[in-house]
Every structure is written in C-alpha cells, then in structure tokens.
Amino acid sequence: MPDYNDQIKDLEEELKNTKYNKRTQHHVGLVKAKIAKLRDKEQSRGKGGSHEGFAVKRSGNATVALLGFPSVGKSTLLNALTNQESRIGAYAFTTLTVVPGVMEHKGARIQILDLPGIIKGASAGAGRGREVISVLRQADLILIVLDPKEAKNQLNVLKKEIYDAGIRINSEKPDVKIKKDSKGGIVIYKTVKLDMDDDTIKGILREFRISNATIVIRDKVDVDQFIDCIEGNKIYTQALIAINKLDLASAEELKRAVKVSGADIAFSASTGTNVSDLKEMIFSSLRFIRIYLKEAQKKADMEIPLIVRSPCTVRDVCHKLHRDFERNFKVARVWGRSAKFPGQKVNINHSLKDKDVLEIQLN
C-alpha cells in the first residue's frame, strides 16, 4: 500500500522551500490541493476497526472536549470542573480512554470529556490520535490545555494536528458555493477581491477532478480555505486556550506563556485558582442563555431554566419543547430584557435574551 504520510511530508517540504508570491501562487495552490487529497486518503484508510473506550454517548446541553499533551493536568481539571473521579498521576498517559463528567453551571449541564494526551503525529494515528480526534469532531467546544513552561510549542503542535485532521477552530465556514455541472467549463463569480487569481482557482478544482462547475465566492478566502470548501468535510468548532498549573510557574513564565499562546485564561486545577472563571468562560463560549417558562395565570418556574443557544427565537424554544408547540402556536408573552414592557405579546419570531420569562399560548 502507498505510504501517504511520506508523500505528504515531501510535499510539505516543497511548500516550505517555496516562497509564496504572485508568480508561485498557482504552483502552491496545486501542491496544497495534492496534500489535502492525500490526507483524506490516509484518514479514510485509518477509519476501520473499533476502539474500546472512545464511544461516548452525548449528554447534557453541550459537550466540551479537553485537548492537550500528556500530563498537562486534564484529569485534575475534569475533577475540578465536575464530580467525576478521573484517575490522575504526575506521569504521561494516565488517561487511556475517554472519561466523561458533567459540569453544572447556571442551570446548564455540560458534558466534559477528558481525552488521552495527544502527541505530534496524532492526525496520522500516533498515540491513539485518530480516536481522540474522532471525539473532538463531535464536541461543541474544544478546551485546549497547555503547560506554562511549554505553551507555545504545545499549541503549535496541537493546532497543526487538529488542522490536519480537518477541524477548524474559531472560524466560520466561508460563503463559497460550488455547483458541479455536466459541461460549460469552470465559471467563477466573486463579490469580493481575492489574493488568488482565477487560474489558481481553476487549477485547484481540476486537481480534484472538477472540470465543469459554477463557483460563487462571497467571502475573502485563501487557497487553504477554498480547498476546505471543495472537500466539504471540515468541522468548524469553537475553542478556548487555557494554561494550567499557574501555581507552578513564576510570574514572568506565566506572563510569557499567556503572551505567546494568546491564552484566554490561566488557572490551576489542583488549587482551584480561576476554575470558577473558567466555568463561566465555557458557559459564555457555548453562547448559552437561560429562559424561564411559565403557564398562564401561574408564577414562572425560576428554579430550573430552559438552556438554549443564542441567537434564540420563540420558535426555537417551541421546537425544543415539542413539535406540537410550534404547530399549534397562537401567541407568546415575554418578561425580561427582550420585552419592551413586562408581559409584552410577541410572535413566534421574537428574539429572546438571557433570563427572559416566556409564556406560550397554544390554539
């Protein structure tokens, strides 16, 4: 069988030695397209078989996956965030399977998954990397955990591994439409100015054996993003970057680590420092809002909120409760930040805000 990883390495080395400019952009685009095709082949070849301990049933309002090198303290963090007792130890590869726990915060139940430590080459299968990445692709949020003494190095490796595995963090799917045709060649429509020319776009498409297509590009995309749109199998996920073990780093080490990694927060799972702030950051990053429901002529249930994602309309709440609510909807009344006045009557398309009280009337 062909060794796709060796071919990928050769092409990546070629890219490294090629200075990108107007003259070379076409060649660079074709090389990147070849790399993307080889990665797909390699990952498809590694999908067979079962992996004990990596099939985790989703639960709660969302799933957060802890990603990091061995011994950065993910298991300790899981224990700090939840009531789950994950085995911990001051040595590498303590966790060999996925260990789930549930974090409760502001009425939300958030599933936290402690994954085995990831290492360089994970996207190609090293260190059970494929199993870890398959879980990451299902997560609503990835929490990247770093050691303060190796933050930059670790982050660079982790970003490359998840990128090579087809996961795009903290970015939106570009607005690019590709409609394959039976004839007519390649027709390109653009509403924005791109750095790559039409010949490069056509060359990349032909590398994927697309000779007839209508392309509509409404976002400014580069070669890599355009290839992602052609493949259509990428996952776009929110991510937080967090530095653990702040209690074991000097003030200067911590400051440097935060700066080079662009970390969102630094904390200590073992001492609990800033763990409550991390919980709040996870809740906010998932764009959760709390909606309190009430029946007509009764007080609202202010103890247990309905957890939904923002932006959220009355229709979204109806759909979440039961399909009959949407089908038989008559009118709703709202108290809270989204209402112009208490008890305002609104239609099904009304946008809700955090802590709104909602009363739904049905036909």
pLDDT tens profile 297-314: 899 989 999 999 999 999
* Element housing 345 (H / E): strand 344-346
Q: How much is the average pLDDT of 226-247? A: 95
User: pLDDT digits over 19-46, tens only?
Assistant: 888 788 889 899 999 999 888 887 776 5
User: pLDDT digits over 334-344, tens only?
Assistant: 999 999 999 99
User: pLDDT digits over 165-191, tens only?
Assistant: 899 999 999 999 999 999 999 999 999
User: pLDDT digits over 252-270, tens only?
Assistant: 999 999 999 999 999 999 9
Q: In the predicted model, is pLDDT for residue 117 greater than 80?
A: no
Nearest to residue 111, comparing CAs of 146, 139, 136, 132?
Answer: 139
Predicted pLDDT at 203:
94
Fold of the domain built from segment(s) 62-171+235-285 = Rossmann fold (3.40.50)
Higher-pLDDT residue of 210 and 115 is 210
Fold of the domain built from segment(s) 289-362 = Ubiquitin-like (UB roll) (3.10.20)
Higher-pLDDT residue of 323 and 250 is 250
User: pLDDT digits over 120-148, tens only?
Assistant: 665 666 556 677 888 888 899 999 999 99
**Interatomic CA distance for residues 127 and 120, integer angstroms:** 9
Predicted pLDDT at 317:
96
* Element housing 179 (H / E): strand 176-180
Sign of the C-alpha dihedral computed for residues 215, 220, 226 and 229 taken in this order: negative
Rg of the chain on CA atoms, in Å: 24
Predicted pLDDT at 213:
96
- pLDDT band (50, 70, 90) for residue 57: confident
**Interatomic CA distance for residues 179 and 142, integer angstroms:** 32
Predicted pLDDT at 41:
80
User: Any idea where the domains of the chain sit in the sequence?
Assistant: 4-45+174-231, 62-171+235-285, 289-362
pTM of this prediction?
Answer: 0.85
Q: In the predicted model, is pLDDT for residue 326 greater than 80?
A: yes
Mark 159-170 as b/e (b = at least 16 C-beta within 10 Å).
eebbebbbbbbe
- pLDDT band (50, 70, 90) for residue 51: very low
- pLDDT band (50, 70, 90) for residue 6: confident
Structure tokens given for 245: 């073990």
Predicted pLDDT at 164:
87
Predicted pLDDT at 294:
94
Average pLDDT of every residue of the chain = 89
Structure tokens given for 349: 């398309």
